Every structure is written in C-alpha cells, then in structure tokens.
C-alpha cells in the first residue's frame, strides 16, 4: 500500500510498504489506453533483458480492468536531476561540496555503460537525460530508468511531448524521433548536465525551442561549463555532437575512449 505521497498530476511520489520494508517509489497512473499499451510494450522490452544493475525496470500492477499503475522504485534522492540541482562542484580540496569531479566522471562512465548495454540489445532509449537516471541508496552510483514519468515531473523539459533540447538534429527534423545515434547525441547533453550541475536550467536556454534546429545546423553547440575536464569535453564534441549521425561514434566506442582516458 502507498504509505504517503505527493501528487504530480498523474504521477505520485511517495513510499510504499512491502511487508516490513518501506520503499520510495514513483507511481504513474495509466488510464489512457495508448499510455497503457506504450508502457506495457516498453516494460516487456526491458523485462526480456538479463538482470543489470545499470537499468531500472518498471513494475506494472493492474488495480482495475481498465487501469494500470507503473511503479518505479527510487532512492531517497529521487531523479539525478534533483540531486544535481542541490550540488556545488568542489574545485579544490578546501571547499565544502556535495559532489566531486571524480563522482561526476564515474556517473559519466556508468551512463555510457547503461546505454552500451541497451545498444547491445538493440534497444533505443530515446530520452537520455539526467531526469531519467536515479541514484542508488548511497548516492554513489546511477541507474538508467525509463521515460514514462519524466513528462509529469519535468514538464518544462518537453515541447509537445518531445525532449527537443536533448535531441539530435535529425531527430528534431524528421518523424524518426529516436535512434541509437540519437541516444549518443543525448548522452553528450547528459554529460553536459552533469558538469553544469543544472545551474543553467536547460540546454541552449537562451534559444527558443523552435530555433534549435537552425542553431545546430549553423554549427553552434553548448558552452563548456567550468570544471568540465578538457579531454572529456573534446571527446563529447568530437564523438557525440557531429551534425551528421554517420560521423558520430557509437556508444561502445565512446565507452572504450572513456576507459582509455581513465574516466570511470
């Protein structure tokens, strides 16, 4: 049973009692037939994967013949995006801070590992962003989650249901809103989110969402945040943000580069 909750529209956040154990959860109410079908198909896709500590699986329960709940178990910190908003980056040992460059480098590597695992199974995530990662109970590791609750928790990140500020140019411009190479582009945005610590609110925050496609076609990209390691920044720019999808490296190649740079 849900012990306590806060209401985010069709999404509840709170605690659930399972026997003697209390777990923090997000519960998405799925009353729309299309939502039910989409989530059930997505859950089935992830259900077929072998156990992986990098991927958070959804739990579906039916409480009425025409309605489902999608249950996501969370850490006490909730989405990584919330954690980043509370953080300051430690740039020297004397500073007090809640996050270090070393931890952000580890999160970068773990994010790449999760996407490489999905890619190996030919699964496109389609919405790689800090809002779709959660922290473990010790706030030391991140886990990739599915996308169904993000629109409820972070509506400002979406335009007409699409995360355009995180999407690759070809995904913005065509009906094909997601692809493996699009996930690689979004991974670069995710790493930028890590090191900007959400202090700039959104990618290209000064650019109207309707002008982002043209902005990218003219060669403009995100600005390097303070404290972002230069070698990692070069890797992201050269591997993730090539305008042509055919010129981007795949996530497995990026993972190898991260290991070579000892970013893990």
- Residues classed as catalytic: 127
Q: Are 149 and 95 in contact (CB under 8 A)?
A: no
Q: Please list the residues that pair with 28 across neighbouring strands.
A: 11, 70
Asked if 70 and 58 count as a contact pair (C-beta separation under 8 A), the reply is yes
Check if the beta carbon of residue 68 is closer than 8 Å to that of residue 61.
yes
- 159/143 Cα distance (integer angstroms): 25
Among candidate residues 23, 26, 30, 32, the one with its CA nearest the CA of residue 7: 26
Nearest to 46 by CA among 147, 195, 197, 179: 147
- Closest to 159 (Cα-Cα) out of 193, 127, 115, 200: 127
What stretch of H or E contains 8? strand 2-8
The SS3 of residue 40 is helix
Tokens at residue 225, please?
Answer: 């945040």
State the Cα angle at 118 between 113 and 122, rounded to 5°.
140
In whole angstroms, what is the distance from residue 187 CA to residue 13 CA? 26
Pairing of strands 99-100, 89-90: parallel
Copy the structure tokens of residue 169.
Answer: 């140019």
């Amino acid at each position: 049973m849900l012990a306590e909750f806060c209401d985010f529209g069709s999404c509840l956040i709170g605690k659930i009692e399972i026997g003697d154990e209390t777990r923090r959860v997000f519960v998405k109410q799925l009353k729309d037939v299309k939502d039910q079908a989409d989530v059930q198909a997505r859950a089935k896709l992830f259900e077929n994967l072998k156990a992986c500590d990098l991927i958070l699986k959804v739990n579906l329960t039916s409480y009425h013949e025409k309605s489902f709940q999608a249950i996501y178990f969370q850490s006490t910190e909730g989405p990584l995006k919330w954690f980043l908003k509370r953080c300051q980056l430690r740039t020297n040992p004397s500073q007090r801070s809640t996050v270090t460059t070393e931890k952000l480098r580890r999160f970068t590597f773990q994010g790449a590992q999760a996407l490489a695992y999905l890619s190996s199974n030919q699964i496109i995530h389609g919405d790689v962003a800090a809002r779709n990662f959660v922290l473990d109970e010790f706030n030391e590791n991140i886990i990739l989650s599915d996308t169904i609750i993000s629109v409820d928790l972070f509506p400002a990140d979406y335009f007409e249901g699409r995360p355009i500020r995180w999407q690759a140019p070809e995904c913005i411009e065509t009906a094909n809103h997601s692809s493996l190479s699009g996930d690689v582009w979004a991974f670069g945005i995710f790493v930028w989110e890590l090191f900007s610590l959400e202090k700039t609110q959104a990618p290209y925050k000064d650019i109207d969402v309707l002008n982002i496609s043209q902005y990218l076609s003219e060669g403009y990209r995100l600005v390097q945040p303070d404290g972002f390691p230069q070698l990692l920044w070069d890797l992201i720019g050269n591997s993730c943000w090539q305008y042509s999808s055919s010129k981007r490296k795949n996530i497995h190649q990026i993972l190898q580069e991260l290991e070579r740079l000892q970013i893990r």
